[in-house]
Chain A
Amino acid sequence: MTENRIAELLEELTPSYDDRRGSWERVEASAAGQARRRFAPFGLVAVAVAAAALLVLAWPFHAQQASLLDRARAAIGDGPVLHVVLRGEWGGTLVDLGTGERSAVNGDDEYWYDTRDGRVHSVERLGDAVLNEQVSRPAQLSTELEALGRDYKHALETGTAHVSGEGIVDGEPVAWVTIHSELLPDVADGKDHEVAQQVAVSKRTFEPLALRATRDGKQGPDTFQRVLGLEFLPDGAGDFTASPALSLDGQGFMQGREPMPLDQAHETLGRTPLWLGREYGGLPLAAVDRVTTRIGRHQEVRITGRKVSAAKRCAKLRGAAGGDCFRALDRSPIEVRPDGVFTTKGPMVFSDAQTDVVLFYGTLGDDPTTYRRDSIPLLDQPHVTVTESAQASPFRPIVGSYVPPAGSVFLAANGSGYLQVDGVNVTIEAKGEEAILAATRALAPMPD
């Protein structure tokens, strides 16, 4: 059977409608809100009063019939400023060391995104603690903001969104709505795979409840995020101020690690260290290291003259054109302070050093890069690592500067435990929660 034969059969399957012209006037009228949305069975023209009465009578029916996607669109508002709070899976569990009681500590991200000028105010929280807060005009939007700030609304409005499946999010029945999908090749298997961005829409309230990415219909790892709240605010609304003290924007750090004698631990830490003794659970105290961290911050440099004039011209542009204009001005981002002063980032200035003490209980192996014997902690074998510092560095993995309440330990998603004892910030790494909790309870002041 040839392609021509298939074409002939398809010709027979659906009429050609070559004689149909449609009614552009009716499309225009509907778009302007001057015509009923659905086709009238007979092309009746009613007088204004009758039409109004019909509209009133018909409205509840149409409201019931309105699709989930129409209602989802109506549920998110119309303004240009997105305000959304997302809950990721990067939080952890707080364990009371006295009672053993457990409670969740969630990792949340709150955003205000002005879709017209590209400004983003982001706040990253672990529990009630702010880990990072900044206002910026990013060259590349995060996946979340692109999906919820642009693609979701656009896909609902233009009809490119479609329901891909159903599910339950926190006990609430939802429809998974695909707002963007594309086929991407995977070099691993040489095949194309459908990668999609999906939003879970509540079947009860029609509000977005979650966001995820899928590959061939299956949820991708670490892509699920709960939407705790989402609204589009009017022009000029939204919070675009941030405390510089809480911002990691423009910060970086340098870190060095070196072995040190155990008797220098007190001096290095500046207070009494905690330890697990010379041996713990059959694991010898195999290494004691000093880790020195210097945190640097880019200096804010005021700009003047022609650069300011150019920046002002960019500030008058709306939307993506404004962002592109700013980015074309300089390699360093230009920012406008609330007082109208234009600034850019200068060289990075590093602060005084912060020193940590690291106690490794376990087995050491040879360093293959330097041929030094017994110098590398073997983390694939049973071990416990205790890291102690006088300050909670904002660059600690997962927790940053978060400090758990006294008498408790925070078990993070990365498999580490964090606690503070008498002003000493302690990180414990071991295999499994039970091992971390046991080591936490065994900590004791190191004798002088």
Chain B
Amino acid sequence: MVEEGEIERIYRDRYSAFLRVAVAIVRDEQLGEEAVHDAFVRALRHRRGFSGRGSVQGWLFRIVVNEARRRHAAERRPAPRLRTITHEQDASPNGHRKHGALEALVAALPERQRLALFLRYYADLDYEAIAVVLGVKPGTVAATLHAAHSALRRDLLEVER
């Protein structure tokens, strides 16, 4: 079990990271906010369910990621397609910037690679913590990030060519 005070501390310290990861997954700011909110409500209600394996922060990120994935699936937003790539960088009305080429390439990555990137770059989690969130071994996180980098390098070069 984890104490409520511990969950509150992590929420206050890392809210912006939770929100950023959630928005990256759902690609909508309000949905991201709702995902973080609902995830922490769940965590608070079921904090006795924390097994003690891994960090509390990792457990909370896992719940946020799952809540965001659930909302994203429910919204049924089609992923941007490569053939519609543009280089517009203006902000959309919901505050989530459209960045055509990169967004499409990231969306085209396998889900685990995409989540590993978000958790690494937006939440600054180390491999151990990302492993807890994704339910994999730390070594697998390294391999997953490496594959994501390689894919982005290759595809971005192709787009820019």
Which A positions have Cβ atoms within 8 angstroms of B?
1, 3, 6-7, 9-24, 26-28, 30-31, 37-39, 67, 69, 154, 157-163, 180-183, 192
Contacts and interface: CB of A to CB of B under 8 A. Distances in A.
Nearest to A27: B40
B152 to A, nearest CB: 5
Interface of B: 8, 11-12, 15-16, 18-20, 23-24, 29-30, 33-34, 36-46, 49, 62-63, 66-67, 69-70, 73-74, 89, 95-97, 99, 102-103, 106, 117-118, 121-122, 135-137, 140, 149, 152-153, 156-157
Secondary structure at the B interface, as helix, strand, loop or mixed, is: helix
Secondary structure at the A interface, as helix, strand, loop or mixed, is: mixed
Contacts of B67: 159
Contacts, number: 129
27 contacts: A1-B156, A6-B153, A9-B156, A12-B89, A13-B106, A15-B96, A17-B20, A17-B23, A18-B16, A20-B15, A22-B11, A24-B8, A24-B11, A27-B11, A27-B41, A30-B37, A37-B41, A39-B30, A39-B33, A154-B46, A154-B49, A158-B42, A158-B63, A182-B135, A183-B135, A183-B140, A192-B136
Nearest to A11: B121
A25 B115 CA distance: 28
Contact of B62 (A11, A12, A23, A160): A160
Given A1-B153, A1-B156, A183-B135, A159 B70 contact: yes
B106 A27 contact: no
Nearest to B64: A159
B102 A13 contact: yes
Contact of A192 (B24, B95, B140): B140
Contacts of B106: 10, 13
A1 B157 contact: yes
B60 to A, nearest CB: 10
A19 to B, nearest CB: 8
Given A10-B106, A31-B40, 7 more contacts: A10-B117, A15-B29, A22-B37, A39-B37, A154-B49, A158-B49, A158-B63
Contacts of A22: 11-12, 15, 18-19, 36-37
A334 to B, nearest CB: 26
A159 to B, nearest CB: 5
B21 to A, nearest CB: 9
Contacts of B122: 10, 14
Nearest to A10: B121
Contacts of A16: 16, 20
